[in-house]
Amino acid sequence: MDNLSNPAVIRALLERHGFSFSKALGQNFLINPGVCPKMAQLGIDSPDWGVLEIGAGVGVLTQELARRAAKVAVVEIDQRLLPVLEESLAEYENVSVILGDVMKVDLPALLKEQFGDRPVCVCANLPYYITSPILMMLLEQRLPLQAITVMVQKEAAARLCAQPGNRECGAVTFAVRYYSTPRQLFPVSRGSFFPAPKVDSAVIRLDIHPNPDYGVKDEKLLFTAVRAGFGQRRKTLANPLSGALHLPKEQVQQALTQAGLSLTVRAEAVPFEGWIRLANALKERLG
C-alpha cells in the first residue's frame, strides 16, 4: 500500500477499521514523506541486516525498513492496529508483526527466533511516554545489536547525546555513553506527525559497543551510584551516595577524593571516567 504518509490515506485506512488514536500510547504517526526513507537509510548499514521496530502505527516506517533490510520484526502493543497492518503491509513478505508490550517481550528469544545469526539493528519512532525506559532496557540487556536508530523528543535527543559532565546529562546519558557511541542525525518538526504533538523531535543513532570494558570492578554498583547521583541532581554527591550504598558519608568523601573529584561535586558535573574511578573507589570501601 502506497502513500502511507498522506494524512488522507491514513484517515481513510483508519476509518475503514474503526480506529481512533490513543494519546496514552503515544500514537503520533509520521506523515512527512521524507523522514521514513531517511531514517531507514541511515539506520540500516547492509541489506543483510534484520531490523527490530518498536511500535508500527500504520506501518509507514515498517515499509521503508522492509525495502532495505532482509527481515523486519515489529512489536506493536495496540491490538486494534493488527487488521490495519495486515492491509497496509500485505505486499511485504519479510515483515512479522508481533502483538506485545516491548517492555515485557522476551527480546533475546525474539531476536534469535526472528533473525537467527543475522546482524540486527533497532529502528523506531518511539512512543515518547517510555523513551528512556525502552532505551535503558535495550542497552542493559546487552542485546546483540549493531545500532539503535530512534526518533525521540528534541530535548531527549540532546540529553541522550550529551557528554557526561555536561548540564543536559541524566542517568540515561551515562548509560547511553557506556554502551554505545551516540550521535544526533537530523531534526524533525512537530508538523511531520499526525496528530501533531506539542514538541519537535530528532532522530539519533547509537552505535553499540560490542564489549564495553572500562575496567569497572562492579557494574551494578556503578549504575546504582549514577542513578542515586542523578536522582538528587541538585545535591552534592556525598549524601545521595551514602544513602543509596549504605556507606558512611566520610567514606564516600574519601572515595570522591581518591577519584579526583571535589567534595562538593554534583552528578551533572562528573565526567564519564570520573564515574568509573568513583565507582571503583567506592567498591574498595564496600568490599
Q: Is 166 annotated in some ligand binding site?
A: no
Q: Is 101 annotated in some ligand binding site?
A: yes
Q: Is 91 annotated in some ligand binding site?
A: no
Report the 3 state secondary structure along the chain: CCCCCCHHHHHHHHHHCCCCCCCCCCCCEECCCCHHHHHHHHHCCCCCCEEEEECCCCCHHHHHHHHHCCEEEEEECCHHHHHHHHHHCCCCCCEEEEECCCCCCCHHHHHHHHHCCCCEEEEEECCHHHHHHHHHHHHHCCCCEEEEEEEEEHHHHHHHHCCCCCCCCCHHHHHHHHHEEEEEEEEECHHHEECCCCCCEEEEEEEECCCCCCCCCCHHHHHHHHHHHHHCCCCECHHHHHHHHCCCHHHHHHHHHHCCCCCCCEHHHCCHHHHHHHHHHHHHHHC
Q: How far is the CB of 8 from ligand SAM (least distance, A)?
A: 15
75 versus 225: smaller Cβ distance to ligand SAM = 75
Q: How far is the CB of 263 from ligand SAM (least distance, A)?
A: 42
Q: How far is the CB of 157 from ligand SAM (least distance, A)?
A: 14
CA–CA gap between residue 19 and residue 109 (Å, rounded): 31
196 versus 263: smaller Cβ distance to ligand SAM = 196
Q: How far is the CB of 146 from ligand SAM (least distance, A)?
A: 20
Residue with the CB atom nearest ligand SAM in the bound state = 55
Q: How far is the CB of 102 from ligand SAM (least distance, A)?
A: 4
Contact footprint for ligand SAM (CB under 6 A): 25-30, 54-57, 60-61, 75-78, 101-103, 125, 127
Q: How far is the CB of 93 from ligand SAM (least distance, A)?
A: 20
149 versus 251: smaller Cβ distance to ligand SAM = 149
Q: Is 250 annotated in some ligand binding site?
A: no
187 versus 248: smaller Cβ distance to ligand SAM = 187
Binding site listing for S-adenosyl-L-methionine: 28, 30, 55, 76, 101, 125
